[in-house]
Amino acid sequence: MKIIPAIDIIDGKCVRLTQGDYAQKKEYASDPLEVAQRFEKAGLSRLHIVDLDGAKSRKVVNAETLKRVADNTNLAIDFGGGIKSNESLELVLASGANQVTAGSIAAKNPELVKQWINQYGPEKIILGADVKEEEIAINGWQEGSGINLFNFLDQYIKQNIIYCICTDVSRDGLLQGPSFQLYQRIMARFPTLKLIASGGVSSMDDLVELEKIGVYGAIVGKAYYEGRVSLDELAAIDQ
């Protein structure tokens, strides 16, 4: 299983939200590059960057921060938040992202995301499935879409999507464990999907359980920042 540490950015700083609530923001570091270099030094090779300013304002805001991290580490970066147009996608790729996460746009404009998959290839585009009670959440998790998670996934599997980050918003930032049953159901229905579990990881036991389920990867954020898991532990389980 791939361990993918997360850096969420507001005002150029490394933060975490609770259940996607911008009012429940906690700052962990003033310099995301310093945090990213810490991950790389520990032996981790991937990084998940979320532009929370971008998600909220519906346009990419922190491309310069992405570029600094990409230029000064060898981490394979996936980037999400505010990618709504061809121009924003090109900006993110030009700033050094290896992959981009299509979240809200995948629910609101599937034809555009289908075009991206065809143009850039399914290795470049990660489907972002942020979910509340099996409904896809959009616009920085602030709104519901009316779209069922499993219908959403089925639609994109048919478009040859390979990777999906699935975040249960109700668990994100609470350190109460991931949505194991949800991920089991997704894996059972879509066994070829490279599913990346996000939200709720609180301990190494959680990561061991996710590995047993067979998910492709797990995003770790608050559990590391709050000292629940160490970088050495994360590097040891990373495949």
- Which of 8, 51, 78, 168 is catalytic? The answer is 8
Give the DSSP per-residue string, 107-122: HH-HHHHHHHHHHH-T
- Which of 51, 130, 168, 206 is catalytic? The answer is 130
Residue-wise pLDDT tens digits, 42-74? 999 999 999 999 888 889 999 999 999 999 999
Question: How many distinct structural domains can be found in the chain?
Answer: 1
pLDDT, mean of residues 92-97 = 98
pLDDT of residue 55: 82
Give the model's confidence band at 225: pLDDT under 50 very low, under 70 low, under 90 confident, else very high.
very high
CATH number assigned to the domain comprising residue 64: 3.20.20.70
Find the farthest-apart pair of alpha carbons in the chain and give their distance in angstroms, rounded: 42
pTM for the model: 0.93
Q: Please confirm, yes or no, whether 8 is among the known catalytic residues.
A: yes
Residue burial 1-34, b: 16+ Cβ < 10 Å; e: rest: bbbbbbbbbbeebbbbbeebebeebeebeeebbe
Residue-wise pLDDT tens digits, 147-168? 999 999 999 999 999 999 999 8
Read off the DSSP letter of residue 204: H
Task: Supply the range of the domain harboring residue 19.
Answer: 2-237
Residue-wise pLDDT tens digits, 185-219? 999 999 999 999 999 999 999 999 999 999 999 99
Residue-wise pLDDT tens digits, 106-163? 999 999 999 999 999 999 999 999 998 899 988 655 667 789 999 999 999 999 999 9
Read off the DSSP letter of residue 160: T
